[in-house]
Every structure is written in C-alpha cells, then in structure tokens.
Structure 1
Amino acid sequence: MSFPVPHTDASNSTIDLNAQLLINPHSSFLFHMKGDSMEGIGIYEGDTLILDRSIRPRHNHVVLAVLDGENMVRRLYKQGQTIGLMPENEKFRPIKLAEGMELQIFGVVTARIRNFSY
C-alpha cells in the first residue's frame, strides 16, 4: 500500500507503508493491544501492533505470547534454560516459565500504530 506525498514537487513520489512499518505481507498480522503492561516502552492500550511470524523470537524481543491460554504482549527473556516474560510496567510481575506451563509465541512486534482520535 502506498500513498502520494503531497508536500513534494515530484508527482510520482510515494510512501510505501509496508516498507515503513516493516510489514512482511506473507507473515505479518495486526494485534489490538489491551492493557497497560508495556507502557514503559510506549505501547499503550488501544495501540495496533504489527507482528511478524517469520522472525525467530530471541531474548529481549517484544512478543505476542499465549501463556496457558492467555494472550499477552511482553518482552521475552531467554537465558540458558530460563525462559520468562517481562512486563514494562512496575504494576506487573515478571513471569518465569515453570514446568507444566504452556507457552506459544505468535509473533515478534515490529511496529506500533497509535490512533489519535479527536
């Protein structure tokens, strides 16, 4: 998807939103953020997150995780055999995976879109 850029003199200048927002059309999807667990890094309730399933989740990536059936956006912690999910808000506690817990990572956050409604 691209749109003309009105402030330029070149009539065919465009901005490619897929490139600007790091959207991989084959593996990206949108997720509507709920909650305030990631406010410390500027992700707020109501934001739209762009996630990419093709990126291998690594330590410190912000991910969409499903832990025991509950969706959550958190920073992935992976050091040795220790895996955890870290919030970016002091009101929430870090989660350390324990035996019997089921974790699935659905994608890595690549961008955030904030809707400014007036």
Structure 2
Amino acid sequence: MGIPTALESVHAGFPSVAQDYFSGDFSFDTNVIVHPDTSFVVRVAGSSMEGAGIYDGDLLIIDRSLTPQQGDVVIAALDGDLTVKRLLSDTQGNPVLHAENPAYPDIQLYFDESVTLWGVVIGNYHPQCARVYA
C-alpha cells in the first residue's frame, strides 16, 4: 500500500506557494528498500547513536545483503544481544563498534568473541510528532 507523493519538493529555506496536486502513491518497498528479501525494520532503544541522528524510538531499515564496510552503521549481535553502532577500525586496524554518543564506550571486537554483523543500516525514520507512537 502506498501513500500520496507530492509533485514538488518542500523548501527548507524560504516558503513557496503550495501546489495542491500529487504525483501518485509512494511505497517504501519500491522506493527505499532495494533488497526486500534481505531487509527488515527494527526499533531503536537507547541513546548511543544520537550523534548519527539515530534516537530512541526511531525505526531503522536494515539490509542484510550488504557487506558491512568501514564507516557503515551496522546492527551487530554480541553474545546474542543486538546493538546498533558505527563500524570503524582502531589504530592497529582491529574492528571497533563505535557509539556516536561520548557517554558510551567503543566496543573492541576480538576474534574470540561471539560477534555477528547482522546487516547495514540503510535508512532511519525519526518521527517529528510525539503523538505518532502514543
């Protein structure tokens, strides 16, 4: 099921005259999710990624078909617990899960840990109205 898509972009600077017509329906499945068979949505709990614009309650779109690369925001399973962090390397080239909030420490990844990178975050929905999930 799609939702209506406006013909014009909304201006974030000076306002323009609103156009009262739409170009048709917009479907996230068609326009955002490239690999629907390997994608899923997860809700964020916590504040460790606020510096990346990811907030408590946001919805993340994850693509499991993408190979995580340096700098990607990823979903990782650490001993069975899921977390969202940025994948980086330390000065020795070892992988690190980096929180985008200075109140949280980096997580050094070692070969003896049970770590699985579940997928790459390809999108983030951040509601602008508190009533959305009330």
**Length-normalised TM-score, structure 2:** 0.75
Which aligned pairs between 1:74-85 and structure 2 lie closer than 5 A? Answer: 74-78=85-89, 82-85=94-97
Which residue in the other structure is 2:101 paired with? 89
Q: What is the match of residue 83 of structure 2?
A: 72
Q: Gaps (5+ residues) in structure 2?
A: 7-19
CA contact (8 A) 1:83 1:97 kept: yes
- Using structure 1 for the length normalisation, give the TM-score: 0.84
Percentage of pairs with the same residue: 33
How far 1:46 moved relative to its partner? 0.4
Aligned length: 116
Q: Over the residues paired in the alignment, what is the CA RMSD in angstroms?
A: 2.1
CA deviations on 1:79-116 (whole Å, 9 max, x unpaired) are: 77511100000001111112421110111000111233
What's 1:59 paired with? 70
- Distance apart, 1:117 and its partner CA: 2.8
The higher radius of gyration belongs to: 2
Q: Which one scores higher on RCO, CA 8 angstroms, separation ≥ 6?
A: 1
The DSSP-based 3-state class of the residue aligned with 2:61 is: strand
Higher strand share: 1
Q: CA separation in 2, counterparts of 1:9 and 1:70? A: 43
Give the Cα–Cα distance (whole angstroms) in 1 for the partners of residues 64 and 89 of structure 2: 18
Q: Name the CA shift for 1:32/1:9 in 2 (closer, same or farther; >3 Å).
A: closer
Unaligned runs of 5+ in 1: none
In 1, Cα distance between equivalents of 2:64 and 2:36: 11
